Amino acid sequence: MNLPSDINIVEVGPRDGLQNESRFLATPNKIRLIERLAATGLREIEITSFTHPKWIPNLADAEEVATAVRHLDLTTFALVPNRRGLDRALSTGLKGVTFVFSATDGHNLRNLNRPTEESLREIIGLEAETRAAGLKTRISLSVVFGCPFEGKVSAERIISICERLVQAGSTRIGLCDTIGVANPVQVNELTSRLAEQFPGITLELHLHNTRGRALANMLAGMQAGIRHFDTAVGGLGGCPYAPGATGNVATEDVVAMLTAMGISTRVDEEKLLAAADLLADWRDTPLDSSIWRSRRMSECRQDDASAGA
């Protein structure tokens, strides 16, 4: 198997994980969660999104959160969809910006209220401006592997969009399985083609686990040469404009699997589970993480055994 010695994780739980939650997580708790995640060894965390509070009310405190964690020794990213979002982000001392748009008009119109081409042209300009300001940048391209409104998305369309981004100077492009419909063969074939066509570009995978395929898709991407992945603590996540989508691949499950395979993530597993515990206590509902659930069940059995003794 063509496997790396290490991979890079971008933790997106504080953004993608919280944006679709049924309840608002208090701002101090968001800040504490980010601090806990930073203590695990994660070097890049997507902490919030500068979208209009009307559309993503759970992240209405973006400025306060970003300002409070800018002292952390890591790269703090925020998701930005347009000019207004970038202006807000730049005022907070962020170190990185993730620009987002969709590969299909159907999803982009619902998510950003404009066709894909319009977002693409604007983001090309905004990313160049952000790089010139000294910030790290990356692009997240949504519904790459399937769209809830248009169905299958052709590889040729994805390659065409990536080609325009690369020509404009983009160096990190994320391929998002927004609704979790990808399969390992599809992931491997597309990422292999993109890696071959754009050898100097960092390709990233953002995988949702709607159909339980996220870890398998991750492995398929790794075998194609992908070394950068978005994950979310607790397996939280979802998109308000992607019907049926569930959470991201859980950071704990990724770290546990790769550690068992001898692949370094530079993330402390115990500290990561402690951060997940904190999140679970605030939510008062179980997390969508196999490793976290397994550990909780083991602890409950131990408690029952102690009580019986």
Model confidence band, residue 307 (pLDDT cutoffs 50, 70, 90):
low
Is 3 part of a structural domain of the chain? no
Provide the CB-side half-sphere exposure for 1 (13 A, CA).
12
Residue 2 lies in a domain: no
Written as six digits, the tokens of 146 are 């399937």
- Count structural domains, the chain: 1
User: Mean pLDDT across the stretch 112-127?
Assistant: 97
Residue showing tokens 């983009």: 170
CATH number at residue 74: 3.20.20.70
Residues with Cβ within 8 Å of 221's Cβ and at least 6 positions away in sequence, in order, are 187, 188, 191, 205, 229
279-294: average pLDDT:
90
Ramachandran region of residue 51, left (φ > 0), alpha (ψ -120 to 50) or beta?
Answer: beta
Is 216 part of a structural domain of the chain?
yes
What does the block give as tokens for 66? 């970003």
138 forms beta bridges with 98
Asked whether residue 82 is assigned to any structural domain, the reply reads yes
Distance CA 122, CA 249 (A): 30
Reply yes or no on whether 147 is catalytic. no
Q: Which amino acid is at 228?
A: H
Which range has the worst mean pLDDT, 38-47, 52-61, 94-103, 240-249?
Answer: 240-249
What confidence tens digit (pLDDT) does each residue in 14-47 have?
999 999 888 999 999 999 999 999 999 999 999 9
SS (H, E, C) the chain: CCCCCECEEEECHHHHHHHCCCCCCCHHHHHHHHHHHHCCCCCEEEEEECCCCCCCHHHCCHHHHHHHCCCCCCEEEEEECCHHHHHHHHCCCCCEEEEEEECCHHHHHHHHCCCHHHHHHHHHHHHHHHHHCCCEEEEEEECCCCECCCECCCHHHHHHHHHHHHHCCCCEEEEEECCCCCCHHHHHHHHHHHHHHCCCCEEEEEEECCCCCHHHHHHHHHHCCCCEEEEEHHHCCCCCCCCCCCCECEHHHHHHHHHHCCCECCCCHHHHHHHHHHHHHHHCCCCCCHHHHHHHHHHHHHHHHHHHC
- Tens digit of each residue's pLDDT (9 = 90 or more) over 203-229: 999 999 999 999 999 999 999 999 999
Catalytic site residue from 147, 162, 176, 239: 239
pLDDT band, residue 305 (cuts 50/70/90)? low
Cα separation of 92 and 88, whole Å?
Answer: 7
Whether the predicted pLDDT of 244 surpasses 70 = no
Q: pLDDT, tens digit, for every residue of 45-91?
A: 999 999 999 889 999 999 999 999 999 999 999 999 999 999 999 99
Q: Which residue segment(s) compose the domain that 241 sits in?
A: 8-308
Structure tokens at 96: 């990185």
Six token digits for residue 112:
């950003």
158 occurs within a structural domain:
yes
Has residue 1 been placed in a domain? no
- 């983001």: which residue's tokens? 123
Residue 203, phi-psi category: left (phi > 0), alpha (psi -120 to 50), beta (remainder): beta
Any domain includes 48:
yes
Of 144, 47, 152, the closest CA to residue 101 belongs to: 144
Rounded distance between C-alpha atoms, residue 248 and residue 41, angstroms: 20
292 within domain boundaries: yes
Q: What whole-number distance in Å separates Cα of residue 127 and Cα of residue 220?
A: 29
